[in-house]
Amino acid sequence: MSTPAEDKSFQPYWFAEAMQRELGGQPNVLDSDIQTDVCIVGGGYTGLWTAILLKQQQPNLDVVIIDKGLCGSGASGRNGGCLTTWSTKYNSLKKFYGEQEAIRLVKASEQAVYAIDRFCKEHDIDAQLRMNGTLYTATNSAQKGAMDSVLAQLDKEQINSWQKWQQARVQHESGSTLHQEGFYSPVAASVQPAMLARGLKQVAEKMGVRIYEDTPMENLHAETPITITTPNATIHPGKVVLALNAWMLEKFPQFKRSVVLVSSDMAITQPIPKKLTAMGLTDGKNVVDLRTFVHYYRSTPDGRLMLGKGGNYFPFANKISKVFDQPSRYTRILRRSFNRLFPSLQDETFAATWTGASDRSTTGLPFFGKLNDHDDIVYGLGYSGSGVAQTWIGGQILASMTLNQNNQWTECGLVSGPRGQFPPEPIRWLGALTVRNAIRRKEHAEDCDRKPLWLDKQLAKFANAVAKTDKNN
């Protein structure tokens, strides 16, 4: 399998930008056997936050991270950088975990946004973090009202950070007259995602975490004493944290039906700061529309415009293939959306496109647990396209589980393993494509102010079954 570290010919835009700032420096590859208290496998946000939070609590704990490529080369170094909360997932949270837990988790996700901002400031991480909120909008009349039910619930619980804006303001602050309705929450930020991941790596190293890159876990032998084999050395850890995200499925097939891997495709323009300023797009506010597979966009500090769209590519058997380490196959779809949102920019070329795998769970929420009930091996995955802020919560949960603590994190509803399963192959894959195509037809009809076909509406409900306002990046 090709990884960014193995195949240096392609790096997603953000990751390449972050690595250019790290002059020289070869990855530290593990080449001799080691012992450690805790080995974290996977150096994305989940693994890095877990390591940092462990070290904050127990500075003398020996913590090792291994990554098969470079830290941040997975989803963490290529995402949209939209730090949003779980407030729009309140209905799902309540359905699966009850009212009190739902309130607590919404608040925890808000706490995560502020904590990441504070952590970057305290540790001088230049991740271009801008606390300028997020706008959820309707880009056609069918999307209008999609936020009503969840906002009513948030209001009832007095945890509503959202306010409805006048349409003129929505259009002015989003740089597009396509938006017909919009809700703004200040509890959100944007970030250069790879610079956040690489910054966390540097802080973790300063705290004494030993990090080995280009060091894939080949096998995990769960019998006591636990061993992890890598190409050149064996690790003897007391405890293991599996922070593998989409790659969990290839190492541990028991999770193959717990998530669906789906691409999120992204494009970024050349710097066009004057044009963006004229359009009101300067502060990096995240703009997300309310279709099933959302459009999301924002400006960058150097005056580029980034646009992402989820829900294009569903790999057969959930296999992470080379498709995820190439420019996006769906540039035409991105271009069409871009031109529709920003007709005045249709002559602007994309400087880069790329893609990545999101791990969509049956609930639209991540899940955590002990691998095969093993007390010393914990895991977490399934962020479902909302992970930039939420991996901080994942880190809290996994650190607390590793330290055998009984606290709000270990007792949280998300620590119950996967809930439900997707159908087996080939039904899952065929079903995913059928639903995706129905959603595409339905949303195209709605964009043209036409009535969608009845059958397409019914099929689209399968994707919406999780919750109407669960949006997938």
Which residues contact ligand FAD (rule: CB under 6 A)? 41-47, 66-69, 73-76, 78-82, 84, 216-217, 243-245, 247, 251, 264, 266, 308, 356-358, 383, 385-388, 391, 473
Whether the CB-CB separation of 228 and 39 falls below 8 Å is answered with yes
Report the residue number, 73 or 185, with the smaller CB distance to ligand FAD. 73
In the complex, least distance from residue 473 CB atom to ligand FAD, rounded to whole angstroms = 4
Return the closest-CA partner of residue 252 out of 356, 372, 384: 372
- Which residue bears the tokens 């409900």? 461
Report the residue number, 237 or 387, with the smaller CB distance to ligand FAD. 387
In the complex, least distance from residue 354 CB atom to ligand FAD, rounded to whole angstroms = 7
C-alpha R_g of the chain: 21
- Beta strands at 295-299 and 134-138: parallel, antiparallel or unpaired: unpaired
In the complex, least distance from residue 468 CB atom to ligand FAD, rounded to whole angstroms = 19
In the complex, least distance from residue 68 CB atom to ligand FAD, rounded to whole angstroms = 4
Query: What secondary structure does DSSP assign to 45-80, as a single string?
Result: HHHHHHHHHHHHH-TTS-EEEE-SS-TT-SGGGTS-
Which residue has the CB atom at the shortest distance from ligand FAD?
387
Q: List all residues 6 or more positions away from 86 whose beta carbon is below 8 Å from its beta carbon.
A: 93, 105, 106, 108, 109, 365, 386, 390
| Maximum Cα interatomic distance, the chain, rounded to a whole number of Å | 64
Report the residue number, 8 or 274, with the smaller CB distance to ligand FAD. 8
Question: Which residues is 379 bridged to in the sheet?
Answer: 242, 369
Report the residue number, 96 or 296, with the smaller CB distance to ligand FAD. 296
Report the residue number, 13 or 446, with the smaller CB distance to ligand FAD. 13
Report the residue number, 396 or 452, with the smaller CB distance to ligand FAD. 396
**Measured distance CA(460)–CA(436) in Å, rounded:** 8
In the complex, least distance from residue 281 CB atom to ligand FAD, rounded to whole angstroms = 17
In the complex, least distance from residue 445 CB atom to ligand FAD, rounded to whole angstroms = 27
In the complex, least distance from residue 122 CB atom to ligand FAD, rounded to whole angstroms = 21
Helices (H), 306-453: 331-341, 390-402, 427-447
Report the residue number, 140 or 361, with the smaller CB distance to ligand FAD. 361
**Measured distance CA(379)–CA(46) in Å, rounded:** 10
In the complex, least distance from residue 67 CB atom to ligand FAD, rounded to whole angstroms = 4
* 238: enclosing H helix or E strand: strand 234-242
Report the residue number, 142 or 294, with the smaller CB distance to ligand FAD. 294
What sign has the CA pseudo-torsion 186, 298, 82, 98? Answer: positive
